[in-house]
Amino acid sequence: MESKSHEYLRRLDSSFYMGNATVHWSHTIDQRRTGWLTSDFHSRFRELLLHVGYTYHVWTLAYSLMPDHFHILWFGVDESSDQKLATTWLRREANKALKSAGDSQTRLQKQPYDHVLRPQETDRFSIEKVASYLWENPTRAGLSFSNSSGPFIGSVIPGSTRLSWHGEIVPPYFWEKFWSHRSRAIASQEKRT
């Protein structure tokens, strides 16, 4: 039975989602429907993450697709980054992808949950801990995968093929390359301002 509640999750001021913000987003499928998570949807989702990353200047440091929801950890990499706009775009396109997958009833719940990481949560250790938490989500849930692609986890950093991966394990070079890439992106941004 669908909830008739018109209550919405409270959001922080828009400024918290802009610039170099780091936000953990959780998107739940309406009525916790399952059956939509396939390798084809995963491929389309990764494509959407590339588009949203390029357009809204966000990097998907980590994502995890689960049977009835998905998580994303986004970094804003430019002063023009706007994660609220990016989320609106991604949700619209994800709903289109869910609909084209066959079941017109499957769609995202009205509103995602978010956690804007505070400054004390954005040090290297804390960021890596949140990303690892997302990547380990399928294992903690006891999910088994009958396909050869393993769990639907990964990272999508536009413009960096080495940092954009998916599969069962984080590549051994990932963190060192990521922090180096991020430092260069922020330094480039600071030169422009």
Cβ(22)–Cβ(72) under 8 Å?
Answer: no
Cα–Cα distance between 129 and 131 in angstroms, integer? 6
Report the mean per-residue pLDDT for the chain. 87
Residue 114 tokens, joined: 């978010």
Average pLDDT over residues 50-57: 95
- pLDDT, tens digit (0-9, with 9 covering 90-100), for 161-180: 888 988 878 888 999 999 99
Could you tell me if 94 and 52 are in contact, meaning their C-beta atoms sit under 8 angstroms apart?
A: no
Q: How far apart are CA 129 and CA 60, in angstroms?
A: 15
The structure tokens listed for 131 are 């990303």
Indicate the range of 1-10, 88-97, 136-145, 176-185 predicted with least confidence: 1-10
Q: Is 50 exceeded by the pLDDT of residue 3?
A: no
Q: Which two tokens stand for residue 3?
A: 């909830």
What are the φ/ψ torsions at residue 43 (nearest 5 degrees)? -60, -45
- Record the pTM: 0.88
Of 68 and 185, the structure prediction assigns the larger pLDDT to 68
Res 105 pLDDT > 90: no
H-helix or E-strand containing 72?
A: strand 69-76
pLDDT of residue 177: 92
Which of 85-99, 122-136, 141-155, 167-181 shows the lowest per-residue confidence on average (mean pLDDT)? 141-155
